[in-house]
Structure 1
Amino acid sequence: MPTITISPKRLEELKNIPENDIDTCDIPELDASFWEKAELVKPLTKQAISLRIDSDVLDWFKSQGKGYQSLMNAVLRSYVEHHVKSSQ
């Protein structure tokens, strides 16, 4: 699952936009049928661990920039999901 990041400066800019200046014409209203099908999706909890990784692998992930640990998690998740599906 991708992570969306936003700078504190941009977040502050967005907070300061007056309600009347926000164009919502392309956002549909959420009617009863939406809520009938809606599901609560709770975020997965993360666990801090100590992990030994080859330095070149870690360097590559770090070179991808901010969020490299989330990227590593996404790669591992993809691997696990593939193997879970193939073992069923």
Structure 2
Amino acid sequence: MTCIDGPEKLQALECALRELEPDFERHGFVDTASLHRYLRARKGDVKAAARMLHATLKWRKAADLSSLSVSEFPEELASGKMFVAGHD
């Protein structure tokens, strides 16, 4: 049985993503856990996972998510429905 998110698939996904987004590391969103998540979501299909992750990076950039701050959501934090975990 082949692992859908094994080391070979992770490396292949990094290569495929680099073709679509050469400097994807600068986003700070893509880490090993993200690569695993996208590979599992696409049942090990590297090309599909790369397209999906590339679309996510484009959306994150368009929505300017990196500029959001926890201080912008005081009501949500106070409600207990949202919390900061680690470096989120």
Task: Give TM-score, length-normalised by structure 2.
Answer: 0.34
Larger radius of gyration: 1
Task: Give TM-score, length-normalised by structure 1.
Answer: 0.34
- Whichever structure has more helix as a proportion of its residues is 2
- Greater relative contact order (Cα < 8 A, sep 6+): 1
